Homo-oligomer: A and B are copies of this chain.
Amino acid sequence: MTVTLSRTQRRFVLPESDLPTHYYNIAADLPVPLPPPLHPATREPIGPEALAPLFPMALIAQEVSTERAIEIPEEVREAYRIYRPSPLHRALGLEKLLDTPARIYFKNEGVSPAGSHKPNTAIAQAYYNREAGVTKLVTETGAGQWGSALSFACSLFGLEAKVFMVKVSFEQKPYRRSFIQSFGATVVPSPSDETNAGRAILAADPDSSGSLGIAISEAIEVAATREDTNYSLGSVLNHVLLHQTVIGEEAILQMEMAGDKPDVVIGCAGGGSNFAGIAFPFMRERLQGRADTRFVAVEPASCPSLTRGEYRYDFGDTAGTTPLLKMHTLGNDFRPAPIHAGGLRYHGMAPMVSHLYELGLLEAKAYEQNACFDAAIQFTRSEGLIPAPESSHAIRAAIDEALDAREAGEERVILFNLSGHGFFDMAAYDAYLAGGLTDVGYDSGQPPA
């Protein structure tokens, strides 16, 4: 490169007028259609009515749509404008640190009010529910990111929000709890005595510290039994991934501003929504024959659904109350080790991401957490941003691509999604800096009995 550091643009910001007007629905461009969800008893494809007790019809329609471009309602765009378009950064400091000929870019979703990409779908879900006359949304949260996003979105649209928070997180993460409460939401430690599911658990084990599976069961029970209340999910489903495509649509324009095209697009993958959000719009270019971009989904070694799971029909929740979804899964009763990247501790992968993996459109990698925190600290000290432990997986993969490019002497263009900041995860950094993290691996999880 002949340009000097100081003459190179560092952030690419779009005007509000470039906020996307449509979500991109990758279902329109699939060479093979996505296998449908099945009823657990009949194993027949389920119809929209099966989801109607939980979701408004507009979201159910998006879940099964094959329309390529789905218009974003004006009120949703208005709310997005609180933090979108989000910036795209050129990681000049990291490039210098790695002494690589690669050019590294990242999309910064940490600028949202909740500190991650989650509000992109929370806002849309709150809007469509309010339009359908729903007055209350109920959900579960583990690490707290999704509960934060939904409580923020509900406060904007005048909905009540109730969040079942896994009891151990409720007790260990009081700041995430008070963050959610600051937006006016009710937070209930799960298991609770507010539902049959919770009461049954408490009867058997009054000291239960809860699990995401139990919290989901409680939230679904409340939504299914109350007319004015719906359920809301933060990842996995098609409509959730759809809402996240605003990330990639903006990034395409910003990469054009930068005069570069990504050779590889990277995202961490738990349920799959932030990966889908950055990747799908770029994948459209590849599916339509205009680019040969590579895509890399990065997961924790301790919860490796894509790299070690089976591709088969499985339940979305632990209790087995959801329809069956065709996905890469470690088994719906797999209990991943308690790594710090709580948002990546999900037994399955989004059906759409799983399907594209089977079609050979993306690669998958798994890393241990110390390797990810090493990368996070390199990033922090060269770029000034403390990433969420989840996002550190994408950073690890991006750094490895950049080191590989140095080895090969290639000017590789790398784009990754910084899904969130780590300001609520300092306890994890504290443990890492004190040398206290262990690499737990897949086998440390508790596989299905």
Contacts and interface: CB of A to CB of B under 8 A. Distances in A.
A78 B175 contact: no
Contact of A182 (B6, B93, B181, B380): B380
B377 A10 contact: no
Nearest to A380: B182
A83 interface: yes
Interface in A138-192: 152, 155-156, 174-179, 181-184
Given A10-B82, A15-B13, A384-B83, A179 B111 contact: no
Contacts of A384: 82-83, 113, 119, 152, 155-156
Contacts of A39: none
Interface string A1-32: 00001100111010110000000000000000
Size class of the contact patch on chain A? 35 or more
Interface of A is mostly: helix
Interface string A207-249: 0000000000000000000000000000000000000000000
A386 B182 contact: yes
Contact of A178 (B74, B93, B433): B433
A16 B11 contact: yes
B183 A6 contact: no
Give 10 closest A-B pairs by Cβ, nearest first. Answer: A175-B426, A113-B384, A178-B430, A10-B81, A423-B423, A155-B381, A6-B78, A178-B426, A6-B74, A13-B13
A117 to B, nearest CB: 15
A424 interface: yes
Given A5-B78, A423-B115, A430 B175 contact: yes
B175 A385 contact: no
Interface of A: 5-6, 9-11, 13, 15-16, 74-75, 77-78, 81-83, 89, 93, 111, 113, 115, 119, 152, 155-156, 174-179, 181-184, 377, 380-386, 423-424, 426-427, 429-430, 433
Contacts of A383: 82
Nearest to A115: B423
Given A82-B384, A119-B384, 5 more contacts: A10-B81, A11-B82, A82-B383, A175-B426, A176-B426
15 contacts: A6-B78, A82-B384, A82-B385, A113-B385, A115-B423, A155-B382, A174-B426, A175-B427, A178-B427, A178-B429, A178-B430, A178-B433, A179-B429, A182-B377, A183-B380
Contacts of A433: 178, 181-182
B111 A10 contact: no
A184 B429 CA distance: 12
A426 B179 contact: yes
A151 to B, nearest CB: 10
A184 B381 CA distance: 7
A10 to B, nearest CB: 4
Nearest to A174: B430
Instruction: Find the residue from A5, A174, A384, A386 having the highest chain B CB count within 10 A.
Output: A384
